[in-house]
Amino acid sequence: MPQSQTHLHHPAAGARIILIRHGQPAIALRPRAGHREFHHYMDAYEAAGLDPASLPPREITDLVRELRHVFTSDRPRAHESARLLAPHAELIVDPLFAEAPLPSLRIPFLRMTVAKWAVVARLLWHMGQAGDIENYPSARARAAKAADILTGRVMAGGGVALVAHGYFNAMIGRQLRRRGWSRSGSHQVRYWNAVIYDWKKGDVS
């Protein structure tokens, strides 16, 4: 492939994409719940905004200080986190970056913490039990499209950040790794978790 055409499909050396999980939502963690309570809790979690006491760490604010564009999902906890983290940047809100959904479970007589319910629901989702929500193949395709959007923003070099959701950020990250991006950090179940993807391949001939 001619070099000029290759450049149309690869970012410039030095391009950077930062994937950041939102801060802590303004909702109390239920110690234990049945399947119906878990379903109601997840509805409340989706509607919750950012806890005012959840402030981004200094090292995260330093990462985005010079960025002009910050993407975020349309969920309150995500775009409120983005606005707090980068008040100087242009905020681009898009529902495409919403979290991969969890299915409603119907397991009577079982009570667990909502964190354990979420793990079980995610495993069943990967096994194809999505019901009437977005399934795993569709979410994976959405993550690929999200990676396209973020990569497109930094084709000429520079950086961009996405403030969104833990699991979907990891799905986007897998897409970026497949395309040759180098990762620093790891996707963790931790609020304000940041993972950096750098383009270090340089010119491709």
Domain boundaries, the chain: 3-198
| Range 3-198: architecture per CATH | 3-Layer(aba) Sandwich (3.40)
Query: Can you give the pLDDT at residue 13?
Result: 84
pLDDT value of residue 203: 43
The answer to whether the beta carbons of residues 193 and 3 sit under 8 Å apart is: no
Burial class (CB in 10 A: 0-12, 13-18, 19+), 99: buried
Nearest Cα residue to 133 out of 59, 42, 58, 196: 42
Using CB atoms within 10 Å of the CB of residue 28, give its burial: 0 to 12 exposed, 13 to 18 middle, 19+ buried. Answer: exposed
| pLDDT average, residue stretch 121-148 | 96
Dihedral angle at the C-alpha atoms of 32, 35, 40, 45, nearest 10 degrees? 60
What's the pLDDT at 62? 96
Beta partners for residue 70, in sequence order: 91, 161
Reported as a single tens digit per residue, the pLDDT across 92-108 is 999 999 999 999 888 98
Q: Where are the alpha helices (DSSP H) in 106-193?
A: 114-126, 136-153, 166-178
pLDDT band at 156 (very low <50, low <70, confident <90, very high): confident
Q: How far apart are CA 99 and CA 81, in angstroms?
A: 15
Residue 18 in tokens = 């930062």
154 contacts 160 by C-beta, under 8 angstroms: yes
% of the chain with per-residue pLDDT over 70? 93
- Report percent pLDDT > 90 for the chain: 82
Structure tokens that stand for 97 in this block = 């970056």
pLDDT at 191 over 80: yes
Round the average pLDDT of the chain to a whole number and report it.
91
What's the pLDDT at 31?
Answer: 80
Judge whether residue 79 has pLDDT over 80. Answer: yes
pLDDT(196) > 70: yes
